[in-house]
Structure formats: structure tokens, C-alpha cells
A and B are shown apart, each in its own frame.
Chain A
Amino acid sequence: MNSLVFLLVRSAKNSLLELRRKPAKLALWVLVIAGIGGIFLLSLFTRQSTAGSLDLVWLKGLLFLFILIFVVIAVQKGLANGDVIFDMNDVNLLFVSPVSAGLTLMYGIVRMAKMAFLAGFFILFQSNSFSVGFGVGFEAVLLVLLGYMLAVGVLQILSLLIYSLTNGKPRRKLAVRMLAALAFIPLIVYTSVQLVGTGDLLQALENTLGSPLADWTPVAGWASAGVVSLISGDMSNGFLFLGLLILSGVLLILYIALSNPDYYEDVLVATETDFEKKRGLTEGQINTEASSTKKVKVAKTGIGGLGASTIFYKHLRESFRANHLGLWGVWSIIMVLGAALFSVFMRGEDGGTLILLQILMWIQIFMIGTGRGLKELYIHYIYLIPESSFWKIVWSNLEIVFKVLVEGVAAFAIAGLIMGEPVGMVAAATLVYTLFSFLLLGINYLSLRWTGADISAGIMIFIYTIAVIVIMLPGLIAAIVLGSMIEGIGVLIGLGVLALWELLAALGCFALSKGVLHHSDMPVMRTGK
């Protein structure tokens, strides 16, 4: 036991000491903590207004959906490799040491809880959205974080148990899949009945979320019902559902520890896979397809183009081989469906397209890096090809430009149709969204050029995010000022101004990052391994 406590305490202490040698990391933490403290203080002096805010049942629905995503991930992971609760150094040093397997499991779970807390950090920044949307304060944010942590913790253990029980047993895997689906069937049936009865999707969803069926749905229902009950002051229900979550976690741990003392083998595959993935990242293999076990059928072969354009044709071949939709993958479908669902909620309300545009632009800040063009910078080929750097970058990013344009047209056209927006508005929103992606690419290259890529990925993302906000600010101010000066078509004028600013700023960023392939170090993904 002493050795495990020593490991936890010493690791935490060393992480803190490391901050003395990494001032940028320290500054980042200070900023994050100051930000959370600021939000907390602001919430103390701001009176929550419930006027115009949504019913708490919708907060429950959001939380339910959010945790449901983790449920699906946990079941999938459990059926594949199990979840990662240990590091490779634990496997090499701890598993072979004379420390009891049960205590080692507890150690893994404590470490995992720390990771779940760090992963849920972003929830703390949602204070303003919660206040405006639901009229609740900072204490509600803390409760949501608690619910999230408990749910994610339970799901990680569940994932480990699923792997342990189904590894190499296809019939059991099928049974788990069926059980996972069955758990949600009552909810789907109830919603369908409500929909037929009321004829209104929103009303049907509201009725379902308010029903005991939603509350008693495992994990997602328990966590969302527990948190929202506590927020609304219903302590008994709150403690009941969160207690249920904790109890199920404890029972799962007990079951694994008592029934399967030799669980090391079960966690080994996940740990090794994770380690290999991280090692691949540091070696430059940042394509997620490299570690995918999905069977790929090689039908059409060959790459078109000549010189720099070959990079674009290579991207086409890779994308169409990776999935049947080519450039437009699962995310594109989720985005369009999400936009459509959002539009159903916003029908009849003012400014629906603008809110949708804002949400999609925020998401795009972090999704732009998933394009093959930016990933290409982590592999040596693009640097060595004897072609103009400018054209190499242009051809390398053409794929993401096509992708974003089509996604934008589809999402805003469908949303516009549902919300009854005029064609001009749909076109303007699509233009702003597409040019924003173009600007984000420019800012990415500018960040690389400015820093020389000689910094950690975390600091790079921080600099990039700040740069996006600073560069967008003048355009946003100009758009709001000019747009508000003109009656009637003010919004369209504002969007036009913003689109123009995005275009000019993007061109400026590309011009300033000229020679990025010559004047930056080839970036390396640092994973801490």
C-alpha cells in the first residue's frame, strides 16, 4: 500500500515541480485557475435571472445526451480492447511487483478519476451558458462536473468488466450489444408513444425526460436525474440517483477484484495499444487510421496529379479508401443532423441561423486540425518534395476546403429550410463559415511559423485559440457596428463584413506564414511518453 501511495504522491509532487522548469505551462495553469476563480466570483455577484431561461428538464436532456456518448464509447471500448486505466510503466514495474492485484486496481481507479476530472475541466467554463440558458449558478456547474466525473468513472470500470467478460467470446459480445440496446428500448418506445399522442417532437421529448423511465436508464439517466434533482433542491432524489451511480461503481470494482484477481491480462491489451498509439504519435504517425482495426478493402488504386498536386490526389485516395463518403465522414453526418435537430428547437425563434453559425464556428476551431493538410506537416515527405512551398500548402489543404464548403452548404441549407430562413441568410452564413475555416488554416500556419513549432502541443493550441479570438475581434466589432447601423438587411451586411474580414485576415495570415515549410521545425507530437 505504501508503495502505491508513494507513487501517487510523488507523481503529483513531480508534476508540480515540473511547472518550475516549464514557465509556459505554469502560465497556462495560472490562467485556467484564474479563469475559473473569476467565473466563480462573478457568479457570486451576479443574480441569476430565471426570466427567459429554459426549464431544467432540458439541462437534464443535455446531460443525458452528453453522458450517453460516453456510454456508447465505453461499450465499444469494452468490446474492443477495454479502457485504459494503467500506463505502460505500471505494467512493467507495478504488475510484476509483490503488490496485491486488488490494491493495484484501486491505484488505477484513483489515477483514472484524476484524468476524468481533468477531462471535465471545460465544464467549469460553462457557468455563463448555464446561467443564461437555465438560470442556475456556479454550484450547478460544480454538480454537473460531479455527475460527469462519477458517470465517466463508472463507465471506465464497466468498460474494463465488459472486456474481461467478453474477450474472445463472440456470443457474449453479441449479448452485451443486445443488452446495451435493450436498456434504451423502453425510452425509445415511450418517446414514440408520446410523439404519436402529442404530435409535437419537443413536447414528446419533454414528457420523456420528465418520466421515471429516463431517470432510471442506467448511468446516463441516473447521472442526469441525480444532478438535476440536486440543482432543483430535490435532495432525496438527487442522493438516490447519484448514490445508485456510486454503488454500481463499487459493486463493479468488487466484482472485478474478487472474481478475477488475474485481471492484468485483461488490461494489458488496452494499455499496450494505447502505448503504441502514443509512441506512433511521437514518431510522426498521427493518422488515426493507422491504429484502426477496421478491415479496408482495396478496390481502386492509383494516384493522380503531378508535382505538388499529387498531395491533393493522394488525400482523395486516402479519404475515399478510409470511408465510402470520401472527404465527408461520420462527423459531417453528425454535424448536418445536429444542425437539423437544433433548427427544430429554434423554429419560430429569432436569430436561429446566427446561433447555429456561432456554435459551428466554435467547433470548427478545434476540428480544422483533423484535415489531412495539417497532419501532413508531421511527416517528412511534404518538406522534401522538390516543389514550391506555397503550392504544396495550397494543394495539401484543398481537401479540407471542399469538405467544409459542402458541409456548410448542407448544414445551413437544411437548417434554413426548417427555420424558414431566406436564401440570402443561408448563403451568407455558409460563406462566413467556409471563410472562417480558411482563416483557421491561415492561423494554424501562422502559429507554426511564429513559434517555429518548437513548443508543446498544449501551448500551441493555447496560442492558436488566443490568436483566433484576437484576429476575429476587429471583424466581429466591424460587423456588429455596421450591421446595427442599417435597418432590415443589417444582419446580412454584418455577415458580409465578417466574411470579407475573414478573407482578408486569412490572406494576411498566409502571407505572413510564407516559408513555413522552411522556417519551422517539423512539429513532433509530444505525448509525455
Chain B
Amino acid sequence: MIDVRNMTKKYGKLAANDNINLSVGRGELAVLLGPNGAGKSTLIKSVCGLLRFQGAITINGYENHTMEAKRLLGYVPEFPVLYPMLTVAEHLEFIAKAYRVEAWEEKGEALLRRFELDDKKMKLGKELSKGMQQKVSVCCALLPQPKAVVMDEPLVGLDPHGIRELKAVIAKLRDSGRALLVSTHMIESVEEDWDVTYIMVKGHIARVCRRTDLAAGQSLEDVYFTITEGKDQKDTL
């Protein structure tokens, strides 16, 4: 569903992403891991068509800038930016009408209930806390019922209830056949549900790890530290 082929993104001489290849199939949860500055957000923004790049990125076979690709894609940005003068309900209405979503009211209500925002419908974007804004941002991304969902650090700023619900939503989306690409620093938050993990270091994908590749007793965290620090975390203890 999400295919990245030989993708390079440069800022001047610096290659933030260097010849990246990545694919996420239907019903698959792909996790992007990497230290700060590894190029995860750049890759995610490029997938969503927010940055120029060399190479090819397609969503279900459509070039990512086409309207067909945009119809299939949902994006939760790293920093939730809401419109300060719109209410929570109006954010959903805006997305629903801009994406021409039919019978959006019920879908919107369900999302708001799930994230405990149903009593905040009349609150303005500027009146919400960072965590609340993140929840609205997730609702906006999911309202058009996209087939591919890209999330950049979606759990940052959420309260425990929000984290639990979003993890449940991610699992449900995956089970319903959606392709998910999620970047995170919180390895433990995806430990239960991930299918494939791309570990990025200095703009490269240093390791592609499938769940089946893990040795007995080995965790995703162990793999991560082996790649990023060149040794097992256990060795450092």
C-alpha cells in the first residue's frame, strides 16, 4: 500500500534521507525507529507529499501527490496544529466537507467519544491543551477512513487514556486491513502490535526487522540498541 523506492531528500549538501526503500502492506503496522535527527520525520513528511524528494513514493500504486493517493492517506503530524478559531466539531466538519466524506456526523461522533472529546465539541482549537490537540489531530486524520495511515510520534503529549485508546485504534486499523506507518521513540508502545520495524540511523535504513526475525527472548528494544549503539543493551548494564 505504501511504497518508497530509492527515495533521497537533501537539504543543501546534507542528505536527511539517503536512498530509502520501504514498503507497508495492507494490514501491516510498520514502525520507524531511530535516534533524534535520524530522518524519520523527513521520511514521513515526504511520504505525505509535504516535501520534495528524489525517487518514487506511491500509495496503492498512485504517485503520492495525486488526488487518488491523497484520498487514501491519513496523516497525524508530529506537532498537532489546529485552527485556533475553529471548534473541535468544526475541525471535523472542515475535514469531512473538504474530503467529501458522506454521513460524517456519526463517524465524527464515534471518534470524539473514543478519545473523550465529546464534551469538548464546542471548545476552540486554541483553548485545548497539547494532548487534546493531538487527539483532535488523530480524529481529523481518521475521519475520512483512509486506507493508509501515517503517524509521526502520535503518542507524545497524550494522557494515559489517550495512549491506551490510540494503541487500540492502531491495532484495530491494522486488523481492518489498513497499512500503518508509525514513527515513535516509545518502543514499548508498539512492542505488542508491530509487524515490521525500520531502524533509521543518519538518514539511512540501518536495519529492517520483521517480528519473525527476532530470536527467542529478544525484544525490539534489544535490536534497536544493537543497531544504534553497536552493542546489546544488556552489555551496557
A-to-B contact residues, CB < 8 Å: 283-285, 287, 289-292, 296, 298, 301-308, 310-311, 314, 317-319, 321-322, 379-381, 383-388, 452, 454, 518-522
Q: Are B94 and A384 in contact (CB under 8 A)?
A: no
Interface size (B, Cβ < 8 Å)?
A: 36
Q: Are A383 and B48 in contact (CB under 8 A)?
A: yes
Closest B residue to A376 by CB, please name it.
B83
Q: Are B98 and A317 in contact (CB under 8 A)?
A: no
Q: Does chain A have a CB within 8 A of B77?
A: yes
Q: Are A388 and B67 in contact (CB under 8 A)?
A: yes
Q: Are B70 and A292 in contact (CB under 8 A)?
A: no
Q: Are B50 and A303 in contact (CB under 8 A)?
A: no
B residues near A307, Cβ cutoff 8 Å: 97-98, 100
B residues near A385, Cβ cutoff 8 Å: 70, 98-99
Taken together as a complex, chains A and B put the C-alpha atoms of A520 and B45 apart, in Å, by 12
Q: Are A287 and B84 in contact (CB under 8 A)?
A: yes
Taken together as a complex, chains A and B put the C-alpha atoms of A302 and B73 apart, in Å, by 25
Q: Does chain A have a CB within 8 A of B49?
A: yes
A residues near B89, Cβ cutoff 8 Å: 301
Main secondary structure of the interface of A (DSSP, over half): loop
If A387-B98, A521-B51, A521-B52 touch, whether A303 touches B90 (CB-CB below 8 Å) is yes
If A310-B94, A380-B50, A520-B52 touch, whether A292 touches B100 (CB-CB below 8 Å) is no
If A307-B100, A381-B98, A386-B99 touch, whether A518 touches B93 (CB-CB below 8 Å) is no
The minimal Cβ–Cβ distance linking A351 to chain B, given in whole angstroms, is 41
A residues near B185, Cβ cutoff 8 Å: none
Which one of A302, A321, A388 contacts B93 once the chains associate, using CB atoms below 8 Å? Answer: A302
Which one of A285, A314, A386 contacts B81 once the chains associate, using CB atoms below 8 Å? Answer: A285
B residues near A379, Cβ cutoff 8 Å: 81, 83
Q: Are A386 and B70 in contact (CB under 8 A)?
A: yes
Q: Does chain A have a CB within 8 A of B122?
A: yes
The minimal Cβ–Cβ distance linking A196 to chain B, given in whole angstroms, is 45
Which one of B81, B97, B99, B125 contacts A380 once the chains associate, using CB atoms below 8 Å? Answer: B81
Taking A383-B48, A387-B67 as known contacts, 9 extra A-B pairs with beta carbons closer than 8 A to each other, sorted by chain A number, are A287-B85, A292-B84, A303-B93, A306-B97, A310-B94, A379-B81, A380-B50, A386-B68, A386-B70
Q: Are A322 and B79 in contact (CB under 8 A)?
A: no
If A307-B98, A386-B71, A454-B11 touch, whether A284 touches B81 (CB-CB below 8 Å) is yes
Q: Are B122 and A301 in contact (CB under 8 A)?
A: yes
Main secondary structure of the interface of B (DSSP, over half): mixed
Closest B residue to A287 by CB, please name it.
B84
If A310-B98, A383-B50 touch, whether A522 touches B85 (CB-CB below 8 Å) is no
Closest A residue to B12 by CB, please name it.
A454
Q: Are B70 and A384 in contact (CB under 8 A)?
A: yes
Q: Are A314 and B124 in contact (CB under 8 A)?
A: no
Q: Are B84 and A289 in contact (CB under 8 A)?
A: yes
Closest B residue to A296 by CB, please name it.
B124
B residues near A388, Cβ cutoff 8 Å: 67
Closest B residue to A306 by CB, please name it.
B97
Q: Does chain A have a CB within 8 A of B110?
A: no
A residues near B52, Cβ cutoff 8 Å: 452, 519-521
Q: Are A318 and B86 in contact (CB under 8 A)?
A: yes
Taken together as a complex, chains A and B put the C-alpha atoms of A97 and B79 apart, in Å, by 32
A residues near B224, Cβ cutoff 8 Å: none
If A290-B126, A296-B85, A519-B52 touch, whether A380 touches B75 (CB-CB below 8 Å) is yes
Closest B residue to A323 by CB, please name it.
B85
The minimal Cβ–Cβ distance linking B79 to chain A, given in whole angstroms, is 4
Query: How many residue pairs bridge A and B at CB < 8 Å?
Result: 104
The minimal Cβ–Cβ distance linking A102 to chain B, given in whole angstroms, is 37
Residue pairs across A and B with Cβ atoms less than 8 A apart, 5 shown, are A287-B85, A298-B122, A303-B90, A317-B85, A318-B85
Q: Does chain A have a CB within 8 A of B8?
A: no
Q: Are A518 and B65 in contact (CB under 8 A)?
A: yes
Q: Are A289 and B85 in contact (CB under 8 A)?
A: yes
Taken together as a complex, chains A and B put the C-alpha atoms of A317 and B84 apart, in Å, by 11
Q: Are A283 and B81 in contact (CB under 8 A)?
A: yes
B residues near A321, Cβ cutoff 8 Å: 85-86
Taken together as a complex, chains A and B put the C-alpha atoms of A381 and B52 apart, in Å, by 17
The minimal Cβ–Cβ distance linking B81 to chain A, given in whole angstroms, is 4
Closest B residue to A320 by CB, please name it.
B85
Taken together as a complex, chains A and B put the C-alpha atoms of A305 and B98 apart, in Å, by 8
Q: Does chain A have a CB within 8 A of B184?
A: no
Q: Are B48 and A310 in contact (CB under 8 A)?
A: no
Q: Does chain A have a CB within 8 A of B87?
A: yes
B residues near A296, Cβ cutoff 8 Å: 85, 124
The minimal Cβ–Cβ distance linking B94 to chain A, given in whole angstroms, is 5
Q: Are B97 and A310 in contact (CB under 8 A)?
A: yes
Q: Are B79 and A317 in contact (CB under 8 A)?
A: no
Taken together as a complex, chains A and B put the C-alpha atoms of A480 and B103 apart, in Å, by 59
Q: Are B51 and A522 in contact (CB under 8 A)?
A: yes
A residues near B79, Cβ cutoff 8 Å: 283-285
The minimal Cβ–Cβ distance linking A30 to chain B, given in whole angstroms, is 21
Taken together as a complex, chains A and B put the C-alpha atoms of A520 and B50 apart, in Å, by 8
Identify the 7 closest CB pairs spanning chains A and B, nearest first. A283-B79, A386-B70, A290-B84, A318-B85, A522-B50, A284-B81, A310-B97
Closest A residue to B66 by CB, please name it.
A386
Q: Are A301 and B87 in contact (CB under 8 A)?
A: yes
Closest B residue to A388 by CB, please name it.
B67
Taken together as a complex, chains A and B put the C-alpha atoms of A386 and B73 apart, in Å, by 9
Q: Are A289 and B50 in contact (CB under 8 A)?
A: no
Which one of A284, A292, A314, A319 contacts B126 once the chains associate, using CB atoms below 8 Å? Answer: A292
Q: Are B67 and A314 in contact (CB under 8 A)?
A: no
Closest A residue to B89 by CB, please name it.
A301
If A298-B122, A306-B100, A380-B77 touch, whether A314 touches B48 (CB-CB below 8 Å) is no
The minimal Cβ–Cβ distance linking B170 to chain A, given in whole angstroms, is 19
Taken together as a complex, chains A and B put the C-alpha atoms of A321 and B122 apart, in Å, by 13
B residues near A317, Cβ cutoff 8 Å: 85-86, 90
Q: Return the CB mask of B114-137 against A: 1 if under 8 Å, else 0.
A: 000000001011100000000000
A residues near B70, Cβ cutoff 8 Å: 384-386
The minimal Cβ–Cβ distance linking B141 to chain A, given in whole angstroms, is 9
Taken together as a complex, chains A and B put the C-alpha atoms of A428 and B140 apart, in Å, by 45
Q: Are B98 and A308 in contact (CB under 8 A)?
A: yes
Q: Are A384 and B49 in contact (CB under 8 A)?
A: yes
The minimal Cβ–Cβ distance linking A394 to chain B, given in whole angstroms, is 14
Considering residues B75, B81, B89, B124, which has the most beta carbons from chain A within 10 angstroms of its beta carbon? B81
The minimal Cβ–Cβ distance linking A399 to chain B, given in whole angstroms, is 13
A residues near B51, Cβ cutoff 8 Å: 521-522
Closest A residue to B97 by CB, please name it.
A310
Q: Are A303 and B49 in contact (CB under 8 A)?
A: no
Closest A residue to B144 by CB, please name it.
A386
Taken together as a complex, chains A and B put the C-alpha atoms of A385 and B70 apart, in Å, by 7
Closest A residue to B69 by CB, please name it.
A386
Closest A residue to B122 by CB, please name it.
A298
